[in-house]
């Protein structure tokens, strides 16, 4: 939404502070990343309309974007007091509970949302993700193994068949990773897997889950780049307890390499660069 629209909505709210235009204004501010201002708008709306479920829903979504998950949970639980069938609140609670590791609660909220809207494919996919996480939690800690398997592929985002190299999408990076406890994934702009694989030691494929979780980091980087004056981002690398992760933009998506922690960060970057060349060639049909 353009800043002119935000200005128009702000003026409309100033002219009539009791109107519900704060819902549109808060959402517009949230979408463009002005989270502090969006939260102020939302909380002012909650003060004026304490029994309006959508006001609490707005406050919850802004809080979730700010990483204030406890506040988000509290606001969405308030939504359910006033509107027990509010699908947005159920979805939001499912997402936040998943982030907090409350997997059973996440499953319950998403299940309730799916019951109210059985045709929502994204809910069914989210429940599958929660179920996989529950199963994973019951097993030993996963490690990365570069073994052959089939990866769910977002066919719609692939280049035309004639332009694609004749290789198995799941195996696109296998030779770059051979012998290493590492994985490479090519994701589209929605975080869906285009190529690559990520397997746990028990053979389960975690590509879709890992890709969906980590693709948000590149979105955050793109947002930061608009304000920092450093030009476009080229790489993000970060170390965690279990893995080193490197990411780079690739056409409309992102390439991600994850390697078990003993593998040096510099090696991970080299793999990323080589995999990026491979991915761009594959997308271009070279």
Cβ within 8 Å of residue 157, ≥6 positions away: 188, 190, 192, 194, 252, 253
Interactions with another protein, residue window 242-281 (CB under 8 A): 242-243, 245, 258, 265-266
230 binds another protein (CB under 8 A): yes
Interactions with another protein, residue window 62-91 (CB under 8 A): 67
* Nearest distance from C-beta of residue 226 to another protein, angstroms: 9
Of 206, 188, 207, nearest in space to 196 by CA: 207
Q: Across-strand partners of 184?
A: 197, 257
Q: Please tell me the distance from the alpha carbon of residue 140 to that of residue 114, in angstroms, as a whole number.
A: 30
Q: Which strand ranges, in their side-by-side order, compose the sheet holding 253-260?
A: 193-197, 182-187, 253-260, 243-250
Query: Quick one: tokens of 75?
Result: 């606001």
**Residue 49 vs 105, nearer CB to another protein:** 105
Residue of the chain from 4, 141, 161, 166 that contacts another protein (CB under 8 A): 141
Report, in angstroms and rounded to the nearest whole number, the Rg of the chain calculated over CA atoms: 21
* Nearest distance from C-beta of residue 233 to another protein, angstroms: 5
Residue found under tokens 């609140």: 89
Rounded to 5 degrees, what are φ and ψ at 160?
Answer: -55, 145
138 binds another protein (CB under 8 A): no
User: What mask of x and - would describe binding to another protein in positions 95 to 134, judged by CB under 8 A?
Assistant: ---xx-x---------------------------------
* Nearest distance from C-beta of residue 240 to another protein, angstroms: 4
223 binds another protein (CB under 8 A): yes
User: What mask of x and - would describe binding to another protein in positions 198 to 217, judged by CB under 8 A?
Assistant: -----------xx--xx-xx
**Residue 9 vs 276, nearer CB to another protein:** 276
DSSP 118-186: TT-HHHHHHHHHHHHHHHHHHSPPP--B---------GGGSPPGGGS-SS-GGGTTHHHHTTSSEEEEE
* Nearest distance from C-beta of residue 5 to another protein, angstroms: 24
* Nearest distance from C-beta of residue 40 to another protein, angstroms: 14
Residues of this chain that interact with another protein (CB under 8 A) are: 67, 98-99, 101, 136, 141-142, 209-210, 213-214, 216-217, 220-221, 223-225, 227-243, 245, 258, 265-266
């Amino acid at each position: 939404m353009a800043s002119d629209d935000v200005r128009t909505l702000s003026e409309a709210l100033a002219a009539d502070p009791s109107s519900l235009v704060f819902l549109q204004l808060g959402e517009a501010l949230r979408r463009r990343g002005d989270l502090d201002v969006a939260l102020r708008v939302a909380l002012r709306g909650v003060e004026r309309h304490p029994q309006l479920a959508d006001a609490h829903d707005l406050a919850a979504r802004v809080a979730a974007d700010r990483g204030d998950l406890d506040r988000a949970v509290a606001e969405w639980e308030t939504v359910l007091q006033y509107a027990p069938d509010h699908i947005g609140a159920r979805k939001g609670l499912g997402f936040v509970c998943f982030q907090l590791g409350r997997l059973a609660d996440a499953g319950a909220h998403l299940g309730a949302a799916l019951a109210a809207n059985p045709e929502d494919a994204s809910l069914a996919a989210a429940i599958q993700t929660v179920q996989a996480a529950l199963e994973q939690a019951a097993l030993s800690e996963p490690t990365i193994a570069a073994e052959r398997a089939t990866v769910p592929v977002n066919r719609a985002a692939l280049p035309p068949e004639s332009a694609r190299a004749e290789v198995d999408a799941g195996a696109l990076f296998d030779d770059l990773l051979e012998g290493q406890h590492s994985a490479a994934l090519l994701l589209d702009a929605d975080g869906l897997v285009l190529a690559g694989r990520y397997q746990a030691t028990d053979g389960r494929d975690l590509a879709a889950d890992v890709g969906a979780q980590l693709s948000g980091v590149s979105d955050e980087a793109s947002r930061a780049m608009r304000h920092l004056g450093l030009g476009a981002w080229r790489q993000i690398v970060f170390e965690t307890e279990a893995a080193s992760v490197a990411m780079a933009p690739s056409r409309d998506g992102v390439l991600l390499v994850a390697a078990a922690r003993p593998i040096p960060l510099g090696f991970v970057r080299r793999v990323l660069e080589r995999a990026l060349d491979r991915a761009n060639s594959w997308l271009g049909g070279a």
